[in-house]
Amino acid sequence: MASRTRNDRPRSERPPGRRPGSATTRAAMSTTIPVAAPPCRVLIVDDEPAIAHVMALVVEQRGCVPLVAADGQEALDLAHVQPPDLVITDLMMPRLDGAGLLAELRAESRAEGREPIPAILMTGARAAVLADVPADAVLVKPFRIEALLALLDRFLGPARPG
């Protein structure tokens, strides 16, 4: 007697719901599979590579994508290509400083009718210097990682599981 394959079995012996086009298969195909939210992007702007590197590691461990720029002009160019969810910038940098970067980003948001991108300014400067800087928060250098994490939580919500 010849051996039977699975497709040679009579209908009564086939497992229910396994045939293409069956109600069970159609239901499985129409089920919505939850899609993970895209990771948040944090633009880190500092002309000191060691600080930018440490901040990028913290942002990455938190489940976000770090976008790193060495000055305000580079950051502005990068923000046009990959719009960030948060900007963390140093105040004093070559080409375009942090205040100029934030002012430009805010002006673009207003012109396009969008909410401004939240911004954290890193500085060792005195408060009087910061009066005209359009930042949502200030991170005073030198800073503790816990202070950075608290600000990330404030602007991005709780950390995403990695």
Cβ-based neighbour number of residue 87 at 10 Å = 27
CB 80 within 8 A of CB 104: no
Assign 15 a pLDDT band (cuts: 50, 70, 90). low
Q: Is the pLDDT of residue 119 over 70?
A: yes
pTM: 0.75
CA–CA gap between residue 156 and residue 162 (Å, rounded) = 15
Give the per-residue pLDDT at 47.
95
Query: What is the token pair recorded at 46?
Result: 């500092």
Exposure string for 124-147, b = 16+ CB within 10 A, e = fewer: eeeeeeeeebebbebbeeeeeeee
Give the per-residue pLDDT at 7.
54
Q: What is the mean pLDDT of the chain?
A: 82
Q: Is the pLDDT of residue 89 over 70?
A: yes
Q: Which domains does the chain have, with CATH numbers?
A: 41-154 (3.40.50.2300)
Element (H, E) at 3: none
Looking at the chain, the whole-number percentage of residues with pLDDT higher than 90 is 60
